[in-house]
Homo-oligomer: A and B are copies of this chain.
Amino acid sequence: MNERKLKILAAVVEEYVRTGEPVGSKAIASLPDIGVSAATVRNDMALLEQLGFLEQPHTSAGRVPTISGYRLYIEELMRPPTLPDEERERLDDMLGAQGPLTEELLIQNATSALAELTQCAAVVSDFSPKFSIISKVKVIPAGKRVYVVLLITSGGAIKNKACRLEFDLTNEQLGKFSEYLSKNLEGVSVADLSDERMENLTAAMSAYMMTMAPLVQGICELSRDLRQHALLVKGEKNLFSCEDLDKMEVVRFIEHKDELVRLLDDSFSGIRVMFGEGNDSFVIGNSSMIVSKYRKGEQNVGSLGVIGPMRLDYAKVIPYLEYFSQKITDLISEDAEAPPKQDDPT
């Protein structure tokens, strides 16, 4: 396995990614920095095929990379460019002009931007809210027997829900209840809002004010929302204009959110590339998914991924993914270091 053979493998991958056609020895030989004849390339390619890095659709066709071939290319051969400064600025702009206000928005922007830049589907499984702190709980009358419960976290997540009560509350009841909630929930980490704890709260509350039950119920739901992994998919449409992928498989896969979340949450660090082979749980044939984790402080709090054809410009996509996940990590970790807290003078 000499240097030239690796160079040829890389060339085959890049050429195949570019054209979508099986690539022949002649095409490789004519590339500028190869400098050997087609016959020599042929010999090397035969060897690369024996080693399982290339394969032929049929005898008289050119070669196509196998999954091992892609893997070797990605791990050893490709030379992803370092992003030039103006590119970084452009990416920062896409994340939100002057730094978006909430984590949620930041992550949404990152997903849209990735989908746009790569012309693939971008996915994110985010559970960063779980690692924020409840900074505010409010109950706001919003109509006849209708009250809105509102939860705000240090990460900038704002959740609300309308609840219907059996009776209207007096100002005094509402005031007491608000105070009780603030005392018991503000400053508490979302991760600590276990179902148990919420049940205890419910019990304590409803013992002394049955009427409030739906409100506590509402808060429980909001806190459950916050603790759950939110899945966001953007740019699915890009996959539908992609020749290589079976539309039906794409639809089935994206429908099956839990499967997708499971794959995204699979714990590892750095970047991971998965290939869809049809037998695995990642079932889109000829596709690949690249996933990168982002953190809040030292804690993994989400996965950002790109789903596209296996024939993908990895050297272009992976730097984007790395940049975004690093940037998200930086921005939300910053927030975490300075958890805000303040009185409500209303």
Residues of A with Cβ closer than 8 Å to B?
101-102, 135-136, 138-144, 146, 148, 150, 152, 154, 156, 158, 160, 162-164, 168-172, 174-175, 178, 237, 240-241, 247-248, 250-251, 254-255, 338, 340, 342-346
Our pick among B156, B168, B346 for the contact of A174 (Cβ within 8 Å) is: B346
Contacts of A175 in B (CB 8 A): 345-346
Contacts of A346 in B (CB 8 A): 138-140, 174-175, 178, 346
**Copies of this chain, whole number:** 2
Minimum-distance CB pairs A-B, first 5: A171-B345, A143-B340, A144-B340, A101-B162, A142-B152
Contacts of A255 in B (CB 8 A): 237
Interface of A, secondary structure class, is: mixed
Q: Which residue of the partner chain B has the closest CB to A143?
A: B340
Our pick among B135, B143, B174 for the contact of A345 (Cβ within 8 Å) is: B174
Contact indicator A138/B140 (Cβ below 8 Å):
yes
Contact indicator B135/A342 (Cβ below 8 Å):
no
Contacts of A158 in B (CB 8 A): 142, 148, 160, 162
Contact indicator B172/A345 (Cβ below 8 Å):
yes
Contact indicator B143/A154 (Cβ below 8 Å):
yes
Contacts of A172 in B (CB 8 A): 345
Our pick among B237, B254, B342 for the contact of A143 (Cβ within 8 Å) is: B342
Residue from A168, A171, A240, A346 having most chain B Cβ neighbours under 10 A: A346
Contacts of A101 in B (CB 8 A): 146, 162-164
In whole angstroms, what is the CA distance A148 to B163 when docked?
20
Task: Give the Cβ gap from A8 to chain B, nearest Cβ, in Å.
Answer: 36
Show 28 A/B contacts (Cβ-Cβ < 8 Å), sorted by A. A101-B146, A101-B164, A102-B162, A135-B142, A135-B143, A136-B141, A136-B142, A138-B138, A138-B346, A140-B150, A141-B344, A143-B340, A144-B338, A144-B340, A144-B342, A146-B156, A146-B340, A148-B158, A150-B150, A168-B342, A171-B345, A174-B345, A175-B345, A175-B346, A178-B346, A237-B254, A241-B247, A241-B251
